[in-house]
Amino acid sequence: MLELHAVSKSYANGTRALADISLSVDAGEILAIVGGSGCGKSTLLRLVAGLDVPTRGTIRVDGQAIASPHEAVGLVFQEPRLLPWLTVARNVGFGLTALPPAERAARVDAALARVGLADYGERWPRELSGGQAQRVALARALVTRPRVLLLDEPFSALDAFTRVDLQDHLLDLWADTRPTLVLVTHDVEEALVLADRVMVMRAHPGRIAGVMQLDTPRPRDRQSGTFDRAKRQLLADLGRANTWRPGEEAFPTAAI
Tell me the C-alpha distance between 25 and 181, whole Å.
9
Of all residues in the chain, what percent carry a pLDDT higher than 90?
Answer: 72
Angle between helices 130-142 and 160-177 (to 10 degrees): 20
- The pLDDT tens digits for 75-123 are 998 889 999 999 999 999 998 988 999 999 999 999 999 889 999 999 9
pTM: 0.90
Cβ pair 121, 112 in contact under 8 A: yes
Q: Is residue 95 part of a domain?
A: no
Q: Is residue 29 part of a domain?
A: yes
Count of domains observed in the chain? 1
**SS3 state at 48:** helix
Q: Is residue 9 part of a domain?
A: yes
Q: What is the mean predicted confidence (pLDDT) over 171-182?
A: 92
Q: Is residue 11 part of a domain?
A: yes
Q: Which amino acid is at 66?
A: I
CATH of the domain at 19: 3.40.50.300
Question: Taking 90 as the threshold, does the pLDDT of residue 245 lie above it?
Answer: no
Q: Is residue 116 part of a domain?
A: no
**SS3 state at 64:** strand
Q: Is residue 239 part of a domain?
A: yes
Tell me the C-alpha distance between 26 and 126, whole Å.
38
pLDDT attached to residue 244: 61
Tell me the C-alpha distance between 188 and 162, whole Å.
17
- The pLDDT tens digits for 220-240 are 999 999 999 999 999 999 988
Q: Is residue 45 part of a domain?
A: yes
Tell me the C-alpha distance between 128 and 141, whole Å.
18
Query: What count of Cα atoms within 13 Å lies in the side-chain half-sphere of residue 247?
Result: 0
Cβ pair 95, 142 in contact under 8 A: no
Q: Is residue 111 part of a domain?
A: no
Neighbours of 137 (CB within 10 A): 24
CB burial readout 92-114, b (16+ within 10 A) else e:
bbebbeeeeeeebeebbeebbeb
Domain hosting 228: range is 2-82+147-255
Q: How far apart are the first and last CA of the chain?
A: 24
Tell me the C-alpha distance between 206 and 224, whole Å.
33
Cβ pair 116, 168 in contact under 8 A: no
Tell me the C-alpha distance between 76 and 154, whole Å.
6
Determine which helix (DSSP H) or strand (DSSP E) holds 192, and give its type and residue range. Answer: helix 188-194
**Cis before 84 (ω within 30):** no
